Amino acid sequence: MIRTAITMLVGDRTKFLGIVFGLAFASLLITQQASIFRGILVLTYGHVTDSPQADIWVGDPGMQEMDTTELVNERELQTVRAQPAVAWAVPLARRLLLARRPAGELLPVMVMGIDDATLIGAPLPGAMLEGAAEDLRAPYSMIVDQRSTESRLRVPLPDGGTRTLRVGDTMLIGGASITVAGICRSTSTLMLYPTLYMRRSQARSLDAAGGSGFNYILAGLVPGADGDEACRDISQATGLTARTRSALSDHVLKYYLTQTGLVPNFGIAVLLGFVVGAAIAGQTFSQFVYDNRRTFAALKAMGMRDQHLAGMLLVQALIAAGLGFGLGVGGAVAFGAALQGTDLGFRLEPALLILAAVAVLTLSLGAALFSLRSVLRVDPALVFRS
C-alpha cells in the first residue's frame, strides 16, 4: 500500500512538485517571518540581557520600554544600597546623543554611561573582541559595538572606499573627540542606534542638558536573597519600580506585543503564507486525486477497503509535508545566514520550527481530507469505462 501510494504521488511529477512547492512556500514564509519577528523582539530588551551582573533593575514606575523613562537620582540610589538584600547598586545612564561620523555626517548613538568606580554595565570579557572594560578609565575613551564599526561608523578612505572603525580611531560626540578603546559584541537597539559604552561622568560631560540623573539603578543581591521579595522592598522604600532581569525583559516584551503594531504586521505575513500554501496545496492535491480516480477505482475493484485508501492519502500527505517543511526551513536558514552581520534581526528557535511543522502538517492533512471524500465515493466500475 505504501509503495503504491508513493508511486502514485511521484508518478505525476507536475502535481507532486506543485503540492510540495505550496507547502514549502508556506513553511518558508512562516519560518522566515516568525524568526524575524522573534529577532526584533529580542532587540527590545537586548541591553538587559547584555548586563547579566545585575540581578535587579530599578527605574521609573511608568516605564514601558527601555528608552522612555524619567531620571532617578543619587538619593534613590543610596536608598537602594541601604536595603538588606542588596549587595551593591550602581547607576546606569542611557543617553541618546549626536555623534559626527568619520565621514562628517551626524548620527544618533546610544551612549551607555556606566558606573565610574566599578565599571558594572560594561561588556563582559567574553563579549570583548578588542580591548577591555578597564580601558574605559582612560580619559575620553569608549567601547563600540562591532556591528556599528562595520556598518554605520565606517571610516572613509582617500581613494573613496571605506574601512571598519578600529581601536585608536576617534569620533566627535558633544563637541569632544572620543577615542575608540575597544570593540565588543552587543545586542542592537530596536532603532539600530550604534551602542557606545563609556564612564557615566564622561557621558554626562557630553550632554549638559541631561543633568546628573540617570535612567536605571542596577543592583546585585546578597547570596541567598529572594529576588522578588527584594524588589518589593526596594519599590516600597524608593517609590520606584524594581524588577528582576527576567521580569523586566517580560515587561518590555509585553509592551511591544500589546501596544505596538508588530504582532498584526507579522501576523498578516504569516497568515498570508498559510493561506497561499493552503490554496496551492489544496487545489493541486484535489486535482491529483481527480486525475488518479481511475487508479483508485481499480484498487477498489481489487478489494481494497476505504480505510486503506484513506491510509494511502495519509502517506502521500505526510511525504509531501515532510519535503515541503524541509525545503521551506532550508530556505529560511539560508535567508538567516545571509543576514548574518546585518542589522535585521533573525532568530530561529526550536519553538518556531515546531510552529512551522504543525502549520505545514495541518495544510497537508487538510488537503488530503478535503480530497478524501472524492476517493471514497469513486465508483469501482469506473475502471471498466472508456
Domain membership flag for residue 283: yes
Domain membership flag for residue 67: no
Confidence category of residue 91, pLDDT binned at 50, 70, 90:
very high
Per-residue model confidence as pLDDT tens digits over 263-317: 888 888 888 888 888 888 888 877 777 777 777 667 667 767 767 777 787 888 8
Confidence category of residue 385, pLDDT binned at 50, 70, 90:
low
Average pLDDT, the chain: 86
Domain membership flag for residue 31: yes
Count the domains in the chain. Answer: 2
The residue range of the domain holding 268 is: 2-43+261-384
> What's the first-to-final CA gap in the chain, in angstroms?
26
Residues 6+ apart with CB under 8 A from 181: 131, 135, 136, 138, 141, 142, 143, 167
Domain membership flag for residue 248: no
The cell for 29 is 514564509
What's CA 126's distance to the chain center, in Å? 22
Per-residue model confidence as pLDDT tens digits over 153-208: 888 888 888 999 999 999 999 889 999 999 999 887 777 889 999 999 999 999 87
Q: What percent of the chain has pLDDT over 90?
A: 42
Per-residue model confidence as pLDDT tens digits over 128-166: 999 999 999 999 999 999 989 988 888 888 888 899 999
Confidence category of residue 92, pLDDT binned at 50, 70, 90:
very high
197, 277: one domain: no
Domain membership flag for residue 309: yes
Provide the pLDDT for residue 308: 76
219, 270: one domain: no
Per-residue model confidence as pLDDT tens digits over 45-87: 888 888 889 999 999 999 988 888 889 999 999 999 999 999 9
Domain membership flag for residue 54: no
Provide the pLDDT for residue 274: 84
Domain membership flag for residue 338: yes
107, 195: one domain: yes
Provide the pLDDT for residue 41: 86
158, 13: one domain: no
13, 105: one domain: no
115, 167: one domain: yes
Averaged pLDDT for residues 102-127: 90
Provide the pLDDT for residue 295: 72
203, 294: one domain: no
10, 123: one domain: no
Q: What percent of the chain has pLDDT over 70?
A: 92
- Say what the pTM is: 0.80
Provide the pLDDT for residue 129: 95
Q: Considering 206, 239, 272, which residue would you say is the last residue of a domain?
A: 239
Residues 6+ apart with CB under 8 A from 360: 23, 26, 27, 30, 277, 321, 324, 325, 328
Provide the pLDDT for residue 132: 95
285, 164: one domain: no
Domain membership flag for residue 203: yes
298, 373: one domain: yes
Please report where in the chains the cell 527590545 appears, as a residue.
Answer: 44
